[in-house]
Amino acid sequence: MKLFRLRITLLFFSILVLGAEQGQDARAQEATPLEYTVDLNDRTGDTFKVTLSVNDLGPENAVYQFASTAPGTYQRMDVGRFVRSFEAVDAQGDVILSENISTNQWRISDPESVSVIRYTVAETWDTPVDENPIFMMAGTSIEDDHVLINGQAVFGYPTGMQARPLRIQLLHPAGWMVGTALDSDETGTLLADDYDHVVDSPILMGRLSKASLDIRGSEIEVYTYSKTDKVHSDQILEAITDILDAAGDFLIELPVKRYTFLFHFEDVTMGAWEHSYSSEYVYAEDAFEMAIAESIPSVVAHEFFHVVTPLNIHSEIVEYFNFVEPVASEHIWLYEGTTEWASDIMQLRAGLIDLDNYLGRLSEKLNADDRYDKEYSLSDLGLNSYSTKGQQQWGNIYQRGALVSGLLDLKILELSGGARGLREVILDLAARYGPDTSFVESTFFEEFAEMTYPEVLRILERHVRGTDVLPMAEYYQKIGIEYVPEFSTGEQIASFGMQVGLDGTNLVLVGVGEIAEGCGLALGDALVGFDGMEVTLQTAQHVLAAFHSIAADEDFTIKIRRGEKEHEFTCAKRMVDRIDKHVFRVDSEATPEQVALRTAWMKNLQQVDVIPAVNE
């Protein structure tokens, strides 16, 4: 899950603001900071008590805007749903009439008299909503010993003032540590260049541990909240240092001078969200040992690579971000799929995983891709990412998106005679653009082909805009690796044929085989109980482990919710022939040419232009 920060001025519009003009007003150009105070000493009601001091509003600033979404989440958030009170007052303390005119907008009747705007907004973690729950790593939490803030879920802005600098004073208990990529002044007040900057800079504070390290001239910081202090920042930093070194090799040098990791360990594993100069992770504390061995390094590799795309490579839709109404981009395949490909290939090239492990990850991605709609293209996924259908297909951006990026890498490698691959093209693009220059959304495919080869355009048209079957065997044979779509092992295993995925906060069935279907289950069923245990995000890991331990012909019960009704079924696994799908293996009879190309594929190639560091 993803966020990045671009230092730009939004080209803002809203048909809901009657009489408002586009662009920034004269007062905004003076860059007088918006002064926010958040009282975290008062945590009653699980709400943030926010005060904005501002005395230069005009008619064009009459509407106070909360975010409908945020960059990199690809989900509708509608933060206005969480606002519990809102008022504007004048210098004498008298309340000025204001009106809630839409989900995310409050119109102030006399903006020129405003001295202070006060509002309360509920935390997102423990506040139920009927639809579009906000990802935990993109939301907010208030507890007695810590607070998590994602800027778009706490702060709003007066229309026309999105480009204003912000000064944020956080009133909090003595002894709390504050972790964020934002700078602060000598009083501890946090400083943001504009609204986009504060949205791009999450804040974790409270009873935290901290560790830091200099890697290739870049300051790396890790802040960690652990519910019972089982996890400490130095453990995490030790586990991810090799990944950051691998990223340095892949990128030639780290393109940021300071980067902050924020880790939250409590009851649930949800994933991560990237930003320009930081990333944020939500994991279950009791699963730390397994996560540090199996998932955290690869997730860090993915999130950290976003310092390249989309921070340094992005279209105008990303650069001029619209917090009023979500605007989708076709090129999420680039922002997320290519990033996922890079996170794996950089580990292979650094020797952190071996070739068999890498090929196993390809197999896993193809098996996951099988569970999604084959007629839903990567372009469709990007352009419909805010829709219900797009959200249902969203997980495939990390599967098919990465697989297509791998095909691009192999084709460029082949056509260049082993001289360059996708890595080199990405770094060329990053050097060409950077944080402050965007590519044209509608012509990027053609531009990409011009920087590489005409044949590359066919891949983009067939496998990003189109839904042609991925030519895995043809492309991987170029480097002497065989691909077999299906392989009978001759073994038998206990099987039920059920795959579980996440839909919002629900565990749902995303794959239903013949045995599970015969028991009464169907695609889309929400899993709510197993053998008398309630199934929630908190219990999911334990429940799934119990399910996997059940032998063939041993009865178990599954409770599901279908529509408004719950149903319980008694089921059993059955012994079936084990069929391995999407198998890769090194061809023992590969030609010298194939081996030579594979050797080039497994290392970083030419030293292209270095991406300049973009923060201090």
Confidence at 23, pLDDT banded by 50, 70, 90: very low
**pLDDT for position 502:** 73
Question: What would the DSSP string read from start to end of 322-378?
Answer: -SSS----TTHIIIIIHHHHHHHHHHHHTTSS-HHHHHHHHHHHHHHHTTS-TT--H
For 425-459, give the DSSP string. HHHHHHHHS-TT--B-GGGHHHHHHHHS-HHHHHH
Query: Given the DSSP bridges, would you call strands 47-53 and 95-96 parallel, antiparallel or unpaired?
Result: unpaired
| Residue 269 or residue 227, greater confidence | 227
Instruction: Kindly tell me the sign of the dihedral angle through the C-alpha atoms of 508, 512, 516, 520.
Output: positive
pLDDT, tens digit (0-9, with 9 covering 90-100), for 127-158:
999 889 999 999 999 999 999 999 999 999 99
Q: In whole angstroms, give the CA distance from residue 96 to residue 239.
A: 54
Q: What is the pLDDT of residues 164-175, one digit of tens each?
A: 999 999 999 999
Instruction: Map residue 298 onto helix, strand or coil.
Output: helix
CB 206 within 8 A of CB 177: yes
pLDDT at 255: 79
pLDDT for the residue 407: 98
User: E strands of 44-139, at which residues?
Assistant: 47-53, 63-65, 83-89, 95-96, 98-102, 105-108, 116-122
pLDDT one-digit tens code per residue, 360-394: 999 999 999 998 999 999 999 999 999 988 888 99
pLDDT score for 143: 97
CA angle 345–346–352, rounded 5-degree value: 100
**Is 24 a residue whose pLDDT tops 60?**
no
Judge if the upstream peptide bond of residue 310 is cis by omega within 30 degrees of 0. Answer: yes
Region 57-78: mean pLDDT is 95
pLDDT at 577: 87
Query: Which residue is it, tokens 């030790």?
Result: 238
> What DSSP assignment string belongs to 553-599?
T--EEEEEEETTEEEEEEE-BEEEEEEEEEEEEE-TT--HHHHHHHH
Q: What's the pLDDT at 163? A: 93
- Residue 615 has a pLDDT of 61
Between residues 290 and 95, the one the model is more confident about: 95
271-274/218-226 β-pairing: unpaired
Chain-wide mean pLDDT for the chain?
Answer: 90
Q: Which residue do the tokens 């933060």 mark? A: 79
Two tokens at 304?
Answer: 């950290």
Which range of 278-292, 456-470, 550-564 scores highest in mean pLDDT? It is 456-470
More confident residue, 254 or 89: 89
Pair type for strands 47-53 and 565-571:
unpaired
Residue whose C-alpha is closest to residue 166's, from 144, 138, 139, 199: 199
Q: What is the DSSP letter of 292?
A: H
Closest CA to 397 of 411, 409, 379: 379
Q: Six-digit token pair at 525?
A: 């069923």
pLDDT at 371: 87
Q: Is the pLDDT of residue 225 over 80?
A: yes
422's tokens: 């996708």
Q: Which two tokens stand for residue 93?
A: 């303390």
From CA 258, how far away is CA 279, in angstroms rounded? 12
The answer, yes or no, to whether residue 356 has pLDDT greater than 70, is yes
Measured distance CA(400)–CA(407) in Å, rounded: 11
Whole-Å CA distances, 601 to 227, 363, 423, 596? 43, 18, 10, 9
Helices (H), 22-89: 26-29
CA distances from 501 to 104, 141, 511 (A): 30, 24, 9
With bands split at pLDDT 50, 70 and 90, how would you rate the model's confidence at 475?
A: very high
Which pLDDT band holds residue 607 (cuts at 50, 70, 90)?
Answer: low
Rounded mean pLDDT of 609-613?
55
Please state the length of the chain.
Answer: 616
**pLDDT grade for 359, boundaries at 50, 70 and 90:** very high
pLDDT at residue 264 in the model: 97
Residue 72 confidence (pLDDT) above 90: no
pLDDT of residue 277: 92
**pLDDT confidence of residue 429:** 93
* Secondary structure E strands in 159-226: 166-171, 177-180, 183-184, 190-192, 203-206, 208-215, 218-226
Answer yes or no: are the C-beta atoms of 89 and 96 closer than 8 Å: yes
Residue 101 token pair: 């005119």
- Quote the pTM value: 0.86
| Predicted local distance difference test score (pLDDT) of residue 12 | 27
For 383, the token pair is 């352009």
Looking at the chain, the whole-number percentage of residues with pLDDT higher than 90 is: 73
Instruction: Please check the confidence at residue 613 and state whether its pLDDT lies above 90.
Output: no
Q: pLDDT, tens digit, for every residue of 178-187?
A: 999 999 999 9
| Domains along the chain with CATH numbers | 26-305 (2.60.40.3650), 328-479+596-601 (1.10.390.10), 497-572 (2.30.42.10)
Q: How far apart are CA 563 and CA 465, in angstroms?
A: 33
